[in-house]
Homo-oligomer: A and B are copies of this chain.
Amino acid sequence: MQPTVRDPNPPLTRSVEDYLKAIYHLSSQGGFAATSDIAAMLEVSPPSVSGMVKRLSEMGLIEHVPYRGVQLTSQGRRAALRMIRRHRILELYLTQHLGYDWGGVHDEAERLEHAVSDELIERMASALGQPQYDPHGDPIPTAAGDIEEAELVSLADAHVGTKLELRQVGTQDTARLRYFAEQGLTPGVLLTVSERQPFNGPTTIALVPSGDPRVVGRELAQLLWCQEIGS
């Protein structure tokens, strides 16, 4: 019995894992994840984020530039990808083997991803035939921590006729975000590009599967980052 020496490398807590995942998603489009965005994503107050950011920095999982935001270190990125792998494999397993539908899986996976062992995840991955994509078409990181980086195009540059999945909304402006949400333009939505007016004019799209049309001006279209859907 030694006199209370702290474990230098304790397992990450549930909260820490959630923060890393959020930071991964928010900073994947290049830059820093902002405190208030993390707070909004995790539904906690900004001061809670500041507190956790301090802890995560001390753990070497993120880099923090005060008043700018945070980025994952390679160690933090590894931990985040591990959670994303878990989440996506769980979603796939639950839909394929236990009859969940797309809508219902997310919350279940969100809770389970913190509790499952690596062994269980690999057993599920085997049962699924080492899948590469989850039910939403997102790539599943490998156990080694590699992930297929999606090539994203802005809606303003997408070719007419292409089928796209909306992946990222490239702004933090509340009014614009709210407008996009009202229009049903949130990450994960599927759409096809119907036409584009000449001279930097607006793009017309059709939502899938409803077929509802939307007309998006160039400035806003440049904020909507999409992935081409191959199939």
Interface residues of A (CB under 8 A from B): 94, 97-100, 104, 107-108, 111-112, 114-117, 119-120, 123-124, 127
Contact = CB atoms under 8 A, between A and B. Distances in A.
A219 to B, nearest CB: 35
How many chain copies? 2
Chain A binding site: helix, strand, loop or mixed by DSSP?
A: helix
A98 B112 contact: no
Given A114-B115, A115-B114, A115-B115, A108 B94 contact: no
Contacts of A100: 123
Contact of A120 (B98, B116, B117, B120): B98
A94 B115 contact: no
6 contacts: A94-B120, A99-B123, A100-B123, A108-B116, A111-B116, A112-B116
Given A97-B97, A98-B127, A127-B98, A115 B111 contact: yes
A19 to B, nearest CB: 18
Contact of A98 (B108, B111, B123): B123
Contacts of A107: 117
B117 A108 contact: yes
A111 B14 CA distance: 12
Identify the 5 closest CB pairs spanning chains A and B, nearest first.
Answer: A115-B115, A111-B115, A98-B123, A112-B115, A108-B117
Contact of A124 (B98, B117, B119, B120): B98
| Most chain B beta-carbon neighbours within 10 Å: one of A99, A104, A114, A123 | A123
Contact of A111 (B94, B97, B117): B117
Nearest to A100: B123
Given A98-B123, A112-B112, A114-B115, 18 more contacts: A94-B120, A97-B97, A97-B127, A98-B120, A98-B124, A98-B127, A99-B123, A100-B123, A104-B119, A107-B117, A108-B116, A108-B117, A108-B119, A111-B115, A111-B116, A111-B117, A112-B115, A112-B116
